[in-house]
Amino acid sequence: MFVLSHYQAKPILDAQRRGMSRVIVSLDLNLSQVTVELEQNGTRLPDGQLLDWGTLAAIAAAESSCFTITEGIAQAVQFFSAETERAYSLYPTEGAPTMLVSGIPMHRIKDTDPHADTLEKIRAVRPVVGQVLDTATGLGYTAIQAAKTAAHVTTIELDPAALQVCRCNPWSQALFDDPKITQMIGDSFEVVLELEDATFTRIIHDPPAFALAGDLYSGEFYRELHRLLRNNGRLFHYVGDPASKSGHSITVGVVRRLEQAGFREIRRAPRAFGVTALK
């Protein structure tokens, strides 16, 4: 899988302008690096396909998109879901990309990056062991990271279109390859009703913005999460920037409803933009 953004296209074009015959670059959004040959008509990729200079220039100019490369043709990673009427796309950063859902990034990208953002969430409930529930798959970063230490991870995704984006994202491939990860498709608000009591040691609840999924911030949903946790199990709940007016307001409501649902030792986790709680 070759996937490029402007972060990878610009160094190739720069090397071409400098008259170089080859350059070391990433073809998987900075997961790894390879050497590519620079020819008169474009750059020769490791599998032999030619990516012409015009296509590379177009990729370099599209700073909000990532592109898969097939037979020298670049295709933006973007999908529209008729089911939810939401647009999904892969948005580049210098490291792991994030996903835009109707234009809203699903990870923090200001003064951090999606991978570091994920690590903060994982640290908030460490050690991540036993059975883990990830209530919102997204690009799968949380499930992938949790599976490195947990016995098993169950992850829920509302929209199959989001998983189409995952399949085009090099950073998401363990979501499909790791046997310790089980995917479920559906609305978390409904899917959790099918799960057995006291199943999980850790729950990582990283819902979309309140405006997109208000029911995942409800007392009714929190009572279900409480039911699913084992005694002394730990929950992390992402709520957004606690320093912002909206983030502060949402956090106050979340803490109150978690308490009403039966959680204890509810604490703010400002580095992870969320709160933690115990059962």
pLDDT digits (tens, 9 = 90+) for 210-266: 877 889 999 999 999 999 999 999 999 999 887 787 778 889 999 999 999 999 999
Statement to judge: residues 118 and 254 lie in one domain: yes
Q: Which residues pair with 229 in a beta bridge?
A: 200
**Residue 216 resides in a domain:** yes
**Residue 96 resides in a domain:** no
**Residue 90 resides in a domain:** no
Residue pair 3/28 in contact (Cβ under 8 Å)? The answer is yes
What's the number of domains the chain is made of?
Answer: 2
Statement to judge: residues 144 and 237 lie in one domain: yes
Give the model's pLDDT for residue 268.
Answer: 93
**Residue 225 resides in a domain:** yes
**Residue recorded with tokens 């990532």:** 66
What is the domain-level CATH number for residue 136?
Answer: 3.40.50.150
**Residue 122 resides in a domain:** yes
Sites in the chain below the pLDDT cut of 70: none
Give the model's pLDDT for residue 243.
Answer: 77
Give the model's pLDDT for residue 170.
Answer: 98
167: tokens are: 């399949």
Q: Count CB neighbours of 154 within 10 A.
A: 20
Statement to judge: residues 8 and 131 lie in one domain: no
